[in-house]
């Protein structure tokens, strides 16, 4: 049986709301946290990160993209369907704001541990455009692979921490089996709709999600959309037992 992690609602002013998976780094290692957010106006001033990676993934249904800039000279647009990975290393300052006034960004902000030997490396930024994200169309399901791999399909992004991030859309009644490598911790985040994960139901407003701890042998996780279309994100990776913290 999976462990059950709690999500927390967060609001900042009128222009930002989120469901956050925070304070559970030991449970979801190598991930540190995930914010599933809607942002309609600039919310956070330029802010520093160090010792880990901050990843922004914009959903295809987002009304607009994110304007991103940082202290190493990056200035780019993260379009709907695209991903930007900032390996903060010894330290970086960045800011992200909606690209168009009056429109809402629907995105994930994902925090990922860096291997210990890379936590003090110079900061770096990696980007993947929407059209570069591999997509698998299967009966009743679509899988986008912005990071890592699914079956024999690999993202072109070479990230400093080896993880898988899968954006999965399921039709009404559809099912999909997800292989999990030996030694990987995996969790499933509902984005919209209800999803049965190994026959246990989860939905966004339940404020919970399942976490499957690393095991010595490979295994599978079954997803099923029992009542209408649904979307989930899958996060998976080998725990680093990192001492890095968000700061």
> What architecture is the 8-130 domain classified under in CATH?
Sandwich (2.60)
Contacts 24+ apart (CB under 8 A), 71-78: 71/123, 72/123, 72/124, 72/125, 74/125, 76/127, 78/107, 78/127
Helix (H) or strand (E) holding 168: strand 163-170
pLDDT of 243 reads 40
What confidence tens digit (pLDDT) does each residue in 165-183 have? 999 999 999 999 999 999 9
pLDDT of 116 reads 93
Say what the pTM is: 0.95
**145 neighbors 166 (Cβ within 8 angstroms):** yes
The predicted model gives 7-22 an average pLDDT of 94
**242 neighbors 30 (Cβ within 8 angstroms):** yes
pLDDT band at 144 (very low <50, low <70, confident <90, very high): very high
> What architecture is the 135-237 domain classified under in CATH?
Sandwich (2.60)
The predicted model gives 64-80 an average pLDDT of 97
What confidence tens digit (pLDDT) does each residue in 108-143 have? 999 999 999 999 999 999 999 999 999 999 999 999
Given a cut of 70, whether residue 149 has pLDDT beyond it is yes
pLDDT of 241 reads 75
pLDDT of 247 reads 36
**Rg of the Cα trace of the chain?**
17
Q: Could you tell me which residues come within 8 angstroms of residue 174 by beta carbon, excluding any fewer than 6 positions away?
A: 139, 140, 141, 224, 225
pLDDT of 110 reads 98
pLDDT band at 1 (very low <50, low <70, confident <90, very high): confident
Rounded to whole angstroms, what are the CA distances from 122 to 15, 51, 90, 131?
33, 10, 6, 29
Best CA proximity match to 92, nearest among 161, 33, 37, 46: 46
pLDDT of 64 reads 98
Given a cut of 90, whether residue 244 has pLDDT beyond it is no
To the nearest whole number, what is the mean pLDDT of the chain?
Answer: 95
Domain ranges for the chain, please list them: 8-130, 135-237
Q: Could you tell me which residues come within 8 angstroms of residue 104 by beta carbon, excluding any fewer than 6 positions away?
A: 38, 39, 40, 62, 63, 64, 98
Say if 8-130 and 135-237 have the same CATH topology: yes
The predicted model gives 29-57 an average pLDDT of 96
Residue 173 is given by DSSP the state T
Q: How far apart are CA 190 and CA 233, in angstroms?
A: 7
What confidence tens digit (pLDDT) does each residue in 196-212 have? 999 999 999 999 999 99
pLDDT of 4 reads 97
pLDDT of 138 reads 95
């Amino acid at each position: 049986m999976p462990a059950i992690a709690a999500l927390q609602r967060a609001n900042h002013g009128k222009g930002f709301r989120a469901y956050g998976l925070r304070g559970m780094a030991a449970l979801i290692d190598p991930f540190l946290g995930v914010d599933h957010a809607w942002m309609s106006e600039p919310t956070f001033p330029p802010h520093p990160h160090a010792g880990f990676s901050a990843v922004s993934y914009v959903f295809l249904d987002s009304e607009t993209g994110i304007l991103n800039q940082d202290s190493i000279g990056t200035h780019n647009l993260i379009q709907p369907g695209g991903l930007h990975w900032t390996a903060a290393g010894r330290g970086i300052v960045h800011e992200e704001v909606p690209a168009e006034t009056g429109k809402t960004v629907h995105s994930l902000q994902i925090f990922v541990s860096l291997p210990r030997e890379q936590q003090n490396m110079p900061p770096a930024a990696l980007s993947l455009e929407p059209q570069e994200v591999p997509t698998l169309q299967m009966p009743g399901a679509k899988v986008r692979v912005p990071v890592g791999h699914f079956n024999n399909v690999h993202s072109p992004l070479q990230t400093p921490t080896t993880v898988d991030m899968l954006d999965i859309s399921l039709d009404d009644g559809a099912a999909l089996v997800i292989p999990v490598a030996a030694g990987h911790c995996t969790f499933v985040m509902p984005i919209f709709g209800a999803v049965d994960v190994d026959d246990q139901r989860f939905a966004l407003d339940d404020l919970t999600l399942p976490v499957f701890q690393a095991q010595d042998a490979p295994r599978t996780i079954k997803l099923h959309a029992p009542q209408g279309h649904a979307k989930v994100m899958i996060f998976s990776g080998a725990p680093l037992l990192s001492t890095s913290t968000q700061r």
